[in-house]
Structure 1
Amino acid sequence: MYVEFQQLPAHARVWVYQANRAFNEQELAFIQSYLKQAVQDWNAHGAPLASSFQIRYNQIIVIAVDEHQHAASGCSIDASTGWFKDLAFQMGIDFFDRSVALVQEDSLILFPLLGIKQVVAEGKITPESYMAIPQVKDLEDYNTNWPAKAKDSWLKKYFVTASV
């Protein structure tokens, strides 16, 4: 059951899917239509899930569900993952890319995960850089701490300076 994203409670469960590139206007319209229908029909063992989605930076899709009404089951979570596999197939976009996303104004700059230590060493990501982190606790965490400063994310380990 689709609800407006802003109508979901702070405790709503959240999933963040990052695409390997930004969507153009036509793709954005297609994704919005696709996901609105998918979320409208989303259920767990026949019980409708009060859920919604939001697209950020034309490249990140956030799915949220109010689990106090009905909890998302393993099968329903698998179904939502299937949406992104289907969109990937139809559009040639990878929603399971493991790149690290630096927020630059209204867009993202992606860096390969395996080279992130070097990117930090080169100063391309600083402790104050905003990062589109893929893990958030709930909608309240998403609304208050996302995107996160690199120093407040899992990247903080790369900013530790040795003292003598």
Structure 2
Amino acid sequence: MKLEYKKYLPDTFAGNSRVWIYQSSRLFTLSEALEIEELLNKFTAEWRSHGDDVDAYGNLFFGQFVVLMADETRVGVGGCSTDSSVRFIKGLGEKFSVDFFNRTNLAFVVKEKIQVLPMSQLSYAVQNFFIDGDTLYFNNLVQTKKELEEKWIVPVKDSWLAGKVKLEHSPK
């Protein structure tokens, strides 16, 4: 599975640009993904903070992750504008019958596919070698463009999950 995404990020945005990642409860179909891209483009073009245009970017990555980014170099994103982005994401969820807000669903790359696993099943998955320390994990907790570039897709052993489960070496 190709995990290229950095080349699609705006290179004019500062490294400390704020990032919000919303993971869908399922993979979108191609027609849904195209519609979401249009809606994202419209939202980011119209996103305002205290009447000023937000330097914003939005994209759907890997058919499952909505990434919003705001470069606050010129205009900061306040509470009301953040609320408007959350309303937008909730609207997408309703329109496409998905949940973007279940933070207990974790996404991994397993056998060249994105697999979503409830956190409650993480220990089982590790104990049964479905997931190990080298399995790639989508760390949706990143908060800046720089973190998105460097720490979004990382091996489990390099993420906060490493402290949650005992990582063992899988049998060779």
In the alignment, structure 1 residue 109 sits paired with structure 2 residue 135: no
* TM alignment of 1:85-100, pairs within 5 A: 85-98=90-103, 99-100=105-106
Change (3 A) 1:137 1:90: closer
Moved over 6 A (4+): none
Shift of 1:32: 0.5
The answer to whether residue 38 in structure 2 is matched with residue 67 in structure 1 is no
Query: Who is 2:166 aligned against?
Result: 159
Distance 1:62 1:10 in 2: 15
Correspondences of 1:13-162 after superposition (within 5 Å)? 13-98=18-103, 99-104=105-110, 107-157=113-163, 158-159=165-166
The CA RMSD over aligned residues, in Å, is 1.7
Q: What do the CA deviations read for 1:15-47 (whole angstroms, capped 9, x no partner)?
A: 110001111111011101111111111011111
Letter of the 2:50 partner, please give it.
H
Bigger mean CA deviation after superposition, 40-49 or 151-160? 151-160
TM-score w.r.t. structure 2 length?
0.85
Identity %: 25
Asked if structure 1 preserves the Cα contact closer than 8 Å seen for 2:14 and 2:73, the reply is no
TM-score in terms of structure 1 length:
0.89
For residues 138 and 62 of structure 1, do their structure 2 counterparts lie closer, same or farther at Cα, with a shift above 3 Å needed?
same
Q: Deviations over 1:55-91 (max 9, x none)?
A: 2211011111001211111111111011111111111
Q: CA deviation at 1:142?
A: 0.8
Structure 1 unaligned spans of 5+: none
> Would the aligned equivalents of 1:52 and 1:64 in 2 still touch at CA under 8 Å?
yes
Distance 1:107 1:101 in 2: 10
The question of whether the paired residues in 1 share the 8 Å contact of 2:16 and 2:146 is answered with: yes
Structure 1 residue 12 corresponds to structure 2 residue 17: yes
Does the 8 Å contact 2:139/2:151 carry over to 1? no
Q: Which amino acid aligns with 1:70?
A: V
Q: Distance in 1 between matches of 2:55 and 2:137?
A: 28
Give the counterpart letter for 2:166 in structure 1: F
